[in-house]
Amino acid sequence: MTEITDITHPEIDTNEMILNMGPQHPSTHGVLRVALKLDGEVVTDLDCDIGYLHRGVEKICEHRNYQMIAPYFDRTDYIAAVSNGLCYVETIEKALALEIPLRAQYLRVILTELNRLSSHLLWLATHALDIGAVTVFLWAFREREELLKIFENFFGARLTCHAFRIGGMTYDAYDGFQAEVKDFCDRFPKRLEEYETLLNTNRIWLSRTVGIGIISADAAIDIGLTGPPLRGSGVEWDIRKAHPYECYADLEFDIPYGENGDTYDRYLVRMEEMRQSRRIILQALEKLPDGPIMAPKAPKVVKPSIGEYYHSIESPKGELGIYLVSDGSTQPTRLRIRPPSFINLQALRQMSIGHLVADVVAIIGTLDIVLGEIDR
Amino acid sequence: MLEYLFFFTAPTWFSSLPILKDYIDPMVLDYLVWPLVQIGLLLFVVLTLVAYLTLAERKISAWIQVRIGPNRVGPEGLLQPLADGIKLLLKEDLIPLKADREVFIIAPIIAMVAALVALAVIPWGAAWATISNIDIGLLFILAVSSLGVLGIILGGWASNSKYSLLGALRSAAQMVSYEVAMGLALIGALMFTKTLALQDMVITQERLHIWNILFQPLGFLIYLISGIAETNRAPFDLPEAESELVAGYHTEYSGFRFSLFFIAEYANMLIVSAIAVTVFLGGWYLPGLSYLFTPGSTFFVLASIGVFGLKTLALLYLFFWIRWSLPRYRYDQLMELSWKWMIPAALANIMLTATFLVLGQELALIVSQNNMLEISTLGYVFLISTAFIVTVPLTWIMLGQINKNSRDFNLREVQPLPMNRTINK
Amino acid sequence: MAEEDNKPQEINPIAKSASETPVKKLPRRAAGAMPVVEIKDDLLIKALQEKFGKTILSANEINSQQVLQIEKAALATVLLYLRDNATPAFNMLTDLTAVHFPDQPDQPFEMVYQLYSIAAKRRLRIKTRLAENETIQTVTSIWGTANWLEREVYDLFGIRFDEHPDLRRILLPTGWVGHPLRKEYKLEYQDNAWVEENLQIRALPTEGDFTGKFE
């Protein structure tokens, strides 16, 4: 949060206007403040001001037991709480060298993919809303609502879902869980087609997204983009395939990737990812084995050995990683979260310069950021 | 002088009302009392209609978006506009500290007045159902409604806010561009009606037993698109694009002043669709209406008002439908659409229509006498078929040639994404 | 404000009070260490060791993840080599962070660079140690990612980066005193003066010590 006027040079050119977008703005997806330097409506420079939601999660983690830390992760990326929880418990399990029962693994995959669906649906809703397609917003929320009901039945919470424990799961699937998920998956492709009728070949949608916010594969790697933004640029890289965790290695799915690295390709990638998620869920439901949901050797007092561990998963936003430094006590020495939104947001400047104000909004939407995760 | 202003005298049922007949001079009755009654009635009806248009829009959008919509105030939410109106009236009157006070206050009034003045010349029905049928009706409406943009510009500038300023700038550019296309789109229809007086346009269509849209499909399309842009409705709602400019030119307005802008927007919508109905859709004329009622009778006039209202509401529904289905254009794309597509198309439409009219006269299918057109049966076939088969495709090809290098025309087709088909086992 | 930020300031204004009340940890039992294996037959590591010799202090596999400890002076050159000339080339900087070890007073800070090679799907962790008030060369010119990440490290640890194009605080407001992820920074510490000045909130009563009451 610094003076914005002196991004590159302190004196303000009279021909340029500094426009403050946020922290209260309909389409900055939370409390992001973007200072735009405008020449007419063309963005010549911009600076992101983040930190309005900084809670010091990493600091708090250093002062909590390992079990007490877990709920904090539901609140970093609150749109994809399940993925966050998964990343945390997996990191600790790997550091402890714990084997997780197969049933817990499959349940985790099902829930994480359901969460990916709900996260992508929220992205679609807000992204479309930013570009002015209000109806898609409410249609996507209709499906998200069904997912949240499943979450509520499973976790007891709709947003800050929390059912993973170090060593497995707290709750087993409730009665009718499989049927409900299956039912949802059966209905879902038709709903996706509905959104696509409204957007895919819509001329206005095309002219608002094609060629907007182009980032080449090399530039994307250089700036550290991960997740759908990286794949939209044509890099075929997904942690679920590259470094399979849980039971992803047993499941069949494809990685969609784009060619042009523009907003439209990222849109297509995410839409296809939803289809692939559904595919994963259906397979996992079919293969879901019986058995225990907690590892029998799961320790009551979690104390990883002295050392360090880095583990990352493919969260809906990108690579969510945790770097754990343990001194052998019940509290971590350092628990670093690698927030995908934070690093993806950094590309905003590079992607928006030369575009119009309206495109900045579209690009913020296509990066799919969550301020809770950026600010931590 | 007065006769030019008030074309129609008061209907007999009004002038024969006992109180009026006995105490008021017939001249005063015709030229003063009756118009005032008309104006009062029209304002009441239009403002109520505008209030209920907001409810209709909310209900329709709710229906499109699988929601319920307002349903708490009154039965089925029917009193919602009333509640909204009271809420807006009771709100604190906020004027930003650094705003230009006088201009800030006057801007919404300009917008509102410009919208309401145009109502005066619209033929809401046959005979006495119009306030004044001035000779330059259409020009009058175009002139007055373009004053509305002044209100928006002044409001945006006076707010002393960057978002408002950007919204105002956008709307100035947008309205100026689309006014051109709008005016040009109407010219084709004027060649058939040969008059600018709106009531006479409807009468001409009645006489020819046709709606102008059949002669002017392209003109209607261009007019409709420009009309949506003119009224700042989605997908052209850039001046108030909430995802970019918060609320555009009325970001700083609240309470009653905001509601004035709001009413002006809906009244403008009403006017644009009313003109579209008058010029292209035959106004209050419906084939067969004169068989049901005696032309000129009170029932006929009431029925004609009903017909006009239904057509207008159908167009308004189209407005809502478009708004809730389409994303928003970007500022430069919007201008491109106007200057590269709408205006050339409107010009081509004028040229081709004129060509076919002259050709029709040469072929003796159409006779023009006493400033009126007489069209034979074959002439109808000729004009309608040329409009649909020649004008529309020809214009489309021409536009394609003009814009073949523009970005918008070369958006790539949707292709399936490449995907890895390797199966990770 | 950027100027104020760039002038060397006292990095640890609250360190003094922290030294008076040492950080208490929960009682701990002796724990084992994660398996540490020295990397022997790895082409990349071998090439690195040949090229850079003694600046690579150690090359271990901790918990089957490759970790290189490097001397601070050679860091930028090693990283540049890893990006451009190494096989596989590590084209992505996944993460950049720091860890504070107050119990090692001569070099309390450890910079951690998580590198990734998309082509080879391989991770490599580079670490280097820093003394208090020591600066380190920026890697912004090697990976664009480093810009914000280094700003974050500066913000939360107070480690300064030489030649960083835009070294400002990123999460905390300008003018904030202290760097929260240092161990001596108390968990419930709040800069009352800052809050009062910038937010016009009289946050906590002035009498009585409300800071760090759970420590």
Distance CA(B272)–CA(B316), nearest Å, equals: 9
User: 3-class DSSP state for residue C44?
Assistant: helix
- Beta carbons within 10 angstroms of residue C62's beta carbon: 18
Which residue ranges make up each domain of chain A? 57-302
Which amino acid, B308? F
What distance in Å separates the CA atoms of residue A106 and residue A177, rounded to the nearest whole number?
13
Q: Residue C62: which of A60, A308, A329 has the nearest Cβ? A: A308
Claim to verify: residue C123 and residue C149 sit in the same structural domain = yes
Judged by 3 or more CB pairs under 8 A, whether B touches A is yes
Residue B320 at interface with chain A, using a CB cutoff of 8 Å: no
Consecutive 10-residue averages of pLDDT for chain A (376 residues):
48 66 76 83 84 86 86 86 90 86 89 91 89 86 90 87 84 86 90 86 83 86 89 86 86 85 87 89 89 82 84 90 87 89 89 85 88 86
In a domain? residue C122? yes
Would an 8 Å CB–CB cutoff place C143 in contact with chain A?
yes
Among left, alpha and beta (phi > 0; psi -120 to 50; other), residue B385 is alpha
Q: Which residue of A has its CA nearest to C94?
A: A224
Residue whose C-alpha is closest to residue B245's, from B153, B158, B162, B329: B162
Amino acid (1-letter code) at residue B275: I
Position B384 scores a pLDDT of 85
Q: Are B202 and B367 in contact (CB under 8 A)?
A: no
Q: How far apart are CA B273 and CA B287, in angstroms?
A: 20
How far are the Cα atoms of A80, A81, A82, A150, A169 from residue A182, in angstroms, in the given order? 21, 22, 19, 11, 21
The predicted pLDDT at position B243 comes to 64
The one-character DSSP state at B337 is I
In a domain, C38, yes or no: yes
Looking at the predicted structure, is the pLDDT value of residue C26 above 60?
Answer: no
CB contact under 8 A, C172 and A1: yes
Which chain B positions have a beta carbon within 8 Å of A142's beta carbon?
A: 66
Q: Would you say residue C80 lies in a domain? A: yes
Interface of A with B in 60-119 (CB under 8 A): none
B246 touches chain A (CB under 8 A): yes
Chain A residues whose CB is inside 8 A of the B411 CB are 203, 206-207, 210
Angle between helices B217-230 and B162-193 (to 10 degrees): 160
Give the per-residue pLDDT at C8: 43
The domain in which residue C194 lies consists of: 185-215
Q: Is residue C3 part of a domain?
A: no
Polymer length in residues for chain A: 376
Q: Is residue C177 helix, strand or coil?
A: coil
On whether the CB atoms of residues A17 and A35 are closer than 8 A, the answer is: no
Q: Is A255 on the interface with B (CB under 8 A)?
A: yes
Tell me which residue of A207, A230, A238 sits closest to A347, measured CA to CA.
A230
C27 assigned to some structural domain = no
Does B244 contact A357 at a Cβ distance shorter than 8 Å?
yes
Four-CA torsion A361, A365, A368, A372, nearest 10 degrees: 50
Average the pLDDT over C147-175 and give the result.
86
ipTM for the predicted complex = 0.83
3-state DSSP assignment of residue C9: coil
Looking at the structure, tell me whether residues C143 and C120 fall in a common domain: yes
User: Is A59 part of the contact surface with chain C (CB cutoff 8 Å)?
Assistant: yes
Cβ-contact B218, B388 below 8 angstroms? no
User: Which alpha helices (DSSP H) does A75-232 contain, by range?
Assistant: 81-96, 102-131, 134-155, 177-199, 203-209, 217-223, 228-232
Give me the amino acid identity at A201. T
Shared-domain flag, residues C116 and C193: no
Contacts of A95 in chain C (CB under 8 A): 34, 63
d(CA B33, CA A314) in angstroms, rounded, equals 76
- Cβ partners under 8 Å of residue A97, min gap 6: none
Q: CA-CA distance, A357 to A43, in Å (whole number)?
A: 7
Strand order in the sheet with C56-62: C36-38, C56-62, C65-70, C122-130, C109-117, C92-100
Structure tokens at A251: 């499941």
Q: Using alpha carbons, select from B186, B197, B190 the residue that is nearest to residue B221.
A: B186
Residue C82 lies in a domain: yes
DSSP helix, strand, coil percent of chain A (3-state; round to 5): 50, 15, 35
Statement: residue C27 has pLDDT above 50 = no
Under-50 pLDDT residues of chain B: 1-6, 421-425
Would you state the pLDDT for residue B194?
83
Report the candidate in B350, B270, B337, B339 with the shortest Cα–Cα distance to residue B309: B270
Whether B94 contacts B260, CB under 8 Å? no
Nearest CA in chain A to B416: A268
Nearest alpha-carbon partner for B121 in B111, B135, B108, B105: B135
| Same domain, yes or no: C59 and C125 | yes
Evaluate whether B202 touches B144 at the Cβ level (below 8 Å).
no
Residue A120: what pLDDT? 92
Q: Which chains neighbour B (Cβ–Cβ under 8 Å, 3 or more pairs)? A: A
Chain A contacts of C67, Cβ < 8 Å?
Answer: 308
pLDDT exceeds 80 at position C28: no
In terms of domains, do C105 and C192 share one? no
Q: Provide the phi-psi class of A168: left if phi over 0, else alpha when psi is between -120 and 50, else beta.
A: left
How far is it, in rounded angstroms, from Cα B344 to Cα B350?
10
For chains A and C, CB pairs below 8 A equal 137
C71 plus C154 within the same structural domain: yes
Q: Which of A204, A240, A268 is most worth mutating to test chain B (most B CB atoms within 10 A of its CB)?
A: A204
φ, ψ for residue A42, nearest 5 deg: -90, 130
> Distances from the Cα of A92 to the Cαs of A302, A307, B191, C197, in angstroms?
9, 12, 80, 41
Residue C128 Ramachandran class (φ > 0 left, ψ -120 to 50 alpha, else beta)? beta
Arithmetic mean of pLDDT, C11-29? 45
A289 interfacial to chain B (CB closer than 8 Å): no
Distance CA A106, CA A109 (A): 5
Q: Is the pLDDT of residue C194 over 80?
A: no
- Statement: residue C211 has pLDDT above 70: no
Which residues of chain C does A224 touch, with a Cβ-Cβ cutoff of 8 Å?
92-94, 143-145
From the list A319, A325, A329, the residue facing C94 with the nearest CB is A319
Q: Which residues of B touch A132 (CB under 8 A)?
A: 234-235, 237, 241, 243, 326-328
For A252, nearest residue in chain B (alpha carbons): B423
CA distance C182 to A59: 9
Residue found under tokens 């989605």: B234
Tell me which residue has tokens 């506009």. Answer: B81
Give the helix ranges, DSSP H, for B363-408. Answer: 377-385, 392-402
d(CA C172, CA C1): 14
Q: Which residue of A has its CA nearest to B235?
A: A132
Q: Tell me which residues of chain C, numbers 11 to 50, contact chain A at a CB-CB cutoff of 8 Å.
A: 25-26, 28-34, 36
CA distance B362 to chain A (A): 42
- Is C97 within 8 Å of chain A by CB? yes
Residue C199: its chain A contacts at CB < 8 A?
none
Task: Select from B33, B425, B342, B282 the least CA-distant residue to A253.
Answer: B425
Both C112 and C196 in one domain: the answer is: no
Q: Minimal CA–CA distance to A315: which of A115, A155, A91?
A: A115
Instruction: Look at residue C105 and tell me if it is in a domain.
Output: yes
Q: What's the pLDDT tens digit per position in B263-290?
A: 888 888 888 898 899 888 888 888 877 7
Distance, in Å, from the CA atom of A51 to the CA atom of C156, rounded to the nearest integer, reads: 12
3-state secondary structure of A318: strand
Among C residues 152-191, those touching chain A with beta carbons less than 8 Å apart: 152, 156, 168-174, 180-181, 183, 185, 187
CA dist B283 and B198 (Å) reads 9
Q: CA of A325 to nearest chain B CA: how many angstroms apart? A: 32
pLDDT digits (tens, 9 = 90+) for A46-70: 888 888 888 888 888 888 888 888 8
User: A338 at the C interface (CB within 8 A)?
Assistant: yes
Q: How many domains does chain C have?
A: 2
The Cα of A153 is separated from the nearest Cα of chain C by a number of Å equal to 35
> Torsion over CA of B218, B222, B225 and B228, rounded to 10 degrees?
-120
Instruction: List the structure tokens of A180.
Output: 């409900």
- Token pair belonging to C15: 């360190």
- Asked if C31 and A303 come within 8 Å (Cβ–Cβ), the reply is yes
Q: Which residue of B has its CA nearest to A25?
A: B246
Superfamily name with CATH number, domain A57-302? Cytochrome-c3 Hydrogenase, chain B (1.10.645.10)
Residue B143 confidence (pLDDT): 86
Cα–Cα distance between A250 and A106 in angstroms, integer? 10
Contact A334 C94 (CB under 8 A): no
On whether both C67 and C114 belong to a single domain, the answer is: yes
Q: What is the pLDDT of residues A70-124, one digit of tens each?
A: 888 888 888 888 889 899 998 988 888 888 888 888 989 999 999 999 999 999 9
CA B97 to chain centre: 36
Radius of gyration of chain C (CA): 20
Pair A6, C2: CB distance under 8 Å: yes
Of C30, C123, C171, the CB nearest to A375: C171
